[in-house]
Amino acid sequence: MIYTIANVIFPAFSAPYVSALLFPVAGISVLIAECVIFKLTNRNLTWWKIIALVLGMNIFSTIIGFIISAFLPDGLEPKLVGSGEHEVWISQQGEHWTTLMYIAFPVAYVLSIILEYGVVRLFKRISISRPFRTVTLANTVSYILLITISYIWVNYIW
């Protein structure tokens, strides 16, 4: 008999980025919220410019976030499963994984603001009024949504 162990294991500091992928409702909600914030604070911009900017900012900050998270503690521990010739090592969430995951969200929030502000400053042809305030507001709303929807999904839906 063959047993398949199916579990989603990822490093603790990549949780903010994985959440948007595991819970598509959260990821889509975050992008929509950021677009709305950018439109409310920059009524002169077209929706297409805002969508392009928000997607570009988020793709960039997610890629950099994943790279940085690879160098931070992962909270995973090896576990030996099976017996005899079928023994294999797997990774599982360790004792400190949850604590590290909780720390990961504020770290990702600050990192997102810094990286996305940098992206906005690079796109000089898209004039954003008060870029730091706009990026900070958009990320504040998006992280509140991401955390809330992910929590509800894990605890009440999944």
Express each pLDDT in 97-156 by its tens digit.
889 989 999 999 999 999 999 999 998 788 898 999 999 999 999 999 999 998 898 888
Express each pLDDT in 43-91 by its tens digit.
999 999 999 999 999 999 999 999 999 899 888 888 888 888 888 888 8
Question: Rounded distance, CA 59 to CA 99, Å?
Answer: 26
Answer for the pair 93, 102: CB distance below 8 angstroms, yes or no: no
The mean predicted confidence, pLDDT, of the chain is: 88
Q: Which domain holds residue 115?
A: 12-157
Q: Is 46 domain-assigned?
A: yes
| Residue 80, strand partner residues | 89
Q: Is 4 domain-assigned?
A: no
pLDDT of the residue at 4: 42
The total number of structural domains in the chain stands at 1
Q: What is the pTM of this model?
A: 0.85
Q: Is 36 domain-assigned?
A: yes
* Cα distances (Å, whole numbers) of residue 151 to 4, 32, 63: 27, 19, 23
Q: Is 50 domain-assigned?
A: yes
Q: How many CB atoms lie within 10 A of CB 158?
A: 9
Burial class (CB in 10 A: 0-12, 13-18, 19+), 59: exposed
pLDDT of the residue at 3: 44
pLDDT of the residue at 5: 45
